Amino acid sequence: MTTKWSMKSNPFTKRLAVLSMSAMMATVLAACGGSTEAPTAEDAGKYEANPGEPFSAYKDEISVTMGRVTTANPKLPAGDTYENNAYTRLVKDTFNAKITDQFEANGEDYSRQVSLAIASGELPDMMRVDSKDELKELVDNDLIEDLTAVYDQYATKEIKKIYDSYDGRALNNATIDGRLMGLPATSLDSAPTMVWVRQDWLDLLGIKLDADGDGAITLEEVEQTAQQFLKKDPGQSGNPVGIPFVNTMNTTDYNGSAYTMLGVASTQNAFPQYWMKGEDGKILYGSTTEETKQMLGIMANWFKAGIIDPQFGTRTFDDITALYANGQSGIAFGPWHIPDWGLISVKQLDKNAKFSAYTLEDANGKVNVAHANPSNQFIVVRKGYEHPELAVKIVNLFYDKLANDKDVATTMPEAAKYQETGVDGSTRPFNIEVNSATSLLDDYSDVVRGIKGEISLDEVRTTESKNNIGSIKTYLSDMDTDNTTAWSKYHSRINGVGLIDKLTKEKKFVWMTPAFSGTTSSMKQTWANLSKLEQESFIKIITGSEPIDYFDTFVVNWRKQGGDQVIQEIESEITSQP
């Protein structure tokens, strides 16, 4: 939770207000009355040599400090760092802008760095914030720039087209009081959570999954397969374990669904942690429904039978990944792209490793999924930074020019090499994705047609898809290849996205649209405790320290300790919306 503080009592903010006045005159003038006219020639000279051009360089080198979201294994080549790599050098070459990282961190450590920056007022020039709450707090304390005018002026047609594909939902998420206060990441529907199973183990044991070939399997099939893996130890680890799950257990982000119970919940039409409308039209918290209770009953039975890792509740995310890499477990729940950054560690240690992707179906043969919140991450610019338009230009460079350049190997060779070798996207200046609402399946179509030779590489829309075609062809020519990038791209695109494409075309999905995503006033004080109550109660039920009926006690406590108040606030907020 970030620390709330007052502008009136913070001398740093007062200094910012004075310092930013002249630098922001052009933006303020352009923004008045909603105008998006270009700055005057005199004002524009403060920004760049060619005002209005989305890829023009600055006359003199400029500097920009950043807060960077990192990852544990970025796969950077030797000598390169987050601050100095092909992508940051591309920014320097294109715009004459030098990036310096004010801080670098991952996960909760990054959240703490952002909270400290907000509390002190010492923001980097640009950084990512990971909630609408943080965005509002920055606006309330007058710490970030209004990007309305610079977005209108500098964003390319393609970037505007991408945001428009969400029918206004993405930009609206970043808009406060009618002003665009951040550049939103986009989160397209990437459901469902998949069940990734070691295919080489299935072959070794003669297990046939998905007899009808529809890509969906039952809980019973998962259970039986897990039992066989435990009994026969096909990974020859000497210490096989059941299916590992993270102790947070659930998520409302399918992209972040690795090792969660979201897939199991879907079989019961349960949506833990989602806000939904009940049949009576009233707001429900998905973690308190009877369907979630049924899901916990299944998990408790699995734990008792050893199907779930006996150390459930205590292992870290990295611990779980190590279980797969060491051949101790062969069933993983996760998103379509988990082979690229998680399961790839299995291939690195076992050249024979192969996975097949399935999803879980309910008793009616359907796959229950929820629509994604189109954006909950935002790139913000410090109030007073002299070049707020640079944020838009960086978005243009990476999510339009680099993504769509037909000759990137010639025009941006270093960046092209990064894409070809699978360097993690977090090494870009902004660790976000900006893709159209249909881009996942559009790219899959390009990849499949490119592999088959139905379209030329020049007709493939994105550089990433071109690289994926090359990687997948490498894998198809030698499925025992040591090329881990080729292995991972085949698994994530052909097996992973291919399953989403198949289920979409066959109309297997039953979609739920969340009623609310965000934070209410009382959640700022109560949500940490409510989340802790939920996590601890669910762990107790699953591990058997409490019976399944303890769920009813959890619901009563959850409502008394602030849940009812949150529901009232959500209903009030929904009612007040135009």
The pLDDT of residue 577: 59
Encode pLDDT of 525-538 as tens digits: 999 999 999 999 99
Encode pLDDT of 441-454 as tens digits: 999 999 999 999 99
Residue 496 lies in a domain: yes
Residue 564 lies in a domain: yes
pLDDT greater than 60 at residue 193: yes
Q: Which helix (H) or strand (E) holds 475?
A: helix 463-477
Alpha-carbon gap, residue 254 to 260, rounded angstroms = 10
Give the angle 200-342-311 at the CA atoms, nearest 5°.
85
Pairing of β 216-217 and β 355-360: parallel
Name the residue among 318, 379, 321 with its Cα closest to residue 345.
Answer: 321
pTM over 0.85: no
Do 60 and 151 sit in the same domain of this protein?
yes
Do 362 and 264 sit in the same domain of this protein?
yes
Domain with 419 in it: what CATH number? 3.40.190.10
Do 171 and 80 sit in the same domain of this protein?
yes
Encode pLDDT of 488-513 as tens digits: 999 999 999 999 999 999 999 999 98
pLDDT band at 50 (very low <50, low <70, confident <90, very high): low
Encode pLDDT of 523-569 as tens digits: 989 999 999 999 999 999 999 999 999 999 999 999 999 999 999 99
Alpha-carbon gap, residue 38 to 30, rounded angstroms = 7
The pLDDT of residue 51: 55
| Mean pLDDT calculated for residue range 220-233 | 98
Choice between 25 and 577, residue whose per-residue pLDDT is larger:
577
The pLDDT of residue 168: 87
The pLDDT of residue 352: 95
Do 359 and 224 sit in the same domain of this protein?
yes
| Mean pLDDT calculated for residue range 37-43 | 39
pLDDT greater than 90 at residue 517: no
Do 66 and 142 sit in the same domain of this protein?
yes
| Mean pLDDT calculated for residue range 223-228 | 98
pLDDT band at 345 (very low <50, low <70, confident <90, very high): very high
Residue 3 lies in a domain: no
Encode pLDDT of 139-164 as tens digits: 999 999 999 999 999 999 999 999 99
Total count of domains within the chain: 3
| Contact in structure between 258 and 333 (CB atoms under 8 Å) | yes
Do 364 and 227 sit in the same domain of this protein?
yes
Residue 402 lies in a domain: yes
Encode pLDDT of 263-280 as tens digits: 999 999 999 999 999 999
| Mean pLDDT calculated for residue range 399-428 | 93
| Token code pair at residue 417 | 């090499």
The pLDDT of residue 181: 98
Encode pLDDT of 361-393 as tens digits: 999 999 999 998 878 899 999 999 999 999 999
Helix/strand/coil for 509:
strand
| Contact in structure between 496 and 191 (CB atoms under 8 Å) | no
Lowest mean pLDDT among 21-25, 73-77, 538-542: 21-25
| Contact in structure between 362 and 268 (CB atoms under 8 Å) | yes
The pLDDT of residue 524: 84
**Residue that is last in its domain, among 408, 427, 446:** 427
Alpha-carbon gap, residue 567 to 570, rounded angstroms = 5
| Contact in structure between 487 and 468 (CB atoms under 8 Å) | no
Do 198 and 184 sit in the same domain of this protein?
no
| Contact in structure between 142 and 18 (CB atoms under 8 Å) | no
Distances from the Cα of 165 to the Cα of 162, 190, 438, angstroms: 5, 16, 8
| Contact in structure between 535 and 248 (CB atoms under 8 Å) | yes
Residue 28 lies in a domain: no
Do 472 and 491 sit in the same domain of this protein?
no
Residues in the chain: 578
Name the residue among 441, 480, 499 with its Cα closest to residue 197.
Answer: 499
The pLDDT of residue 499: 98
422: left (phi over 0), alpha (psi -120 to 50) or beta: left
The pLDDT of residue 566: 97
Mean pLDDT of the chain: 90
Do 183 and 71 sit in the same domain of this protein?
yes
Residue 36 lies in a domain: no
The pLDDT of residue 7: 31
Do 270 and 405 sit in the same domain of this protein?
no
The pLDDT of residue 357: 98
Question: 388 preceded by cis ω (within 30°)?
Answer: no
Do 243 and 130 sit in the same domain of this protein?
no
The pLDDT of residue 95: 97
Residue 309 lies in a domain: yes
pLDDT greater than 50 at residue 16: no
Domain hosting residue 129, numbered range: 53-188+375-427
Do 73 and 99 sit in the same domain of this protein?
yes
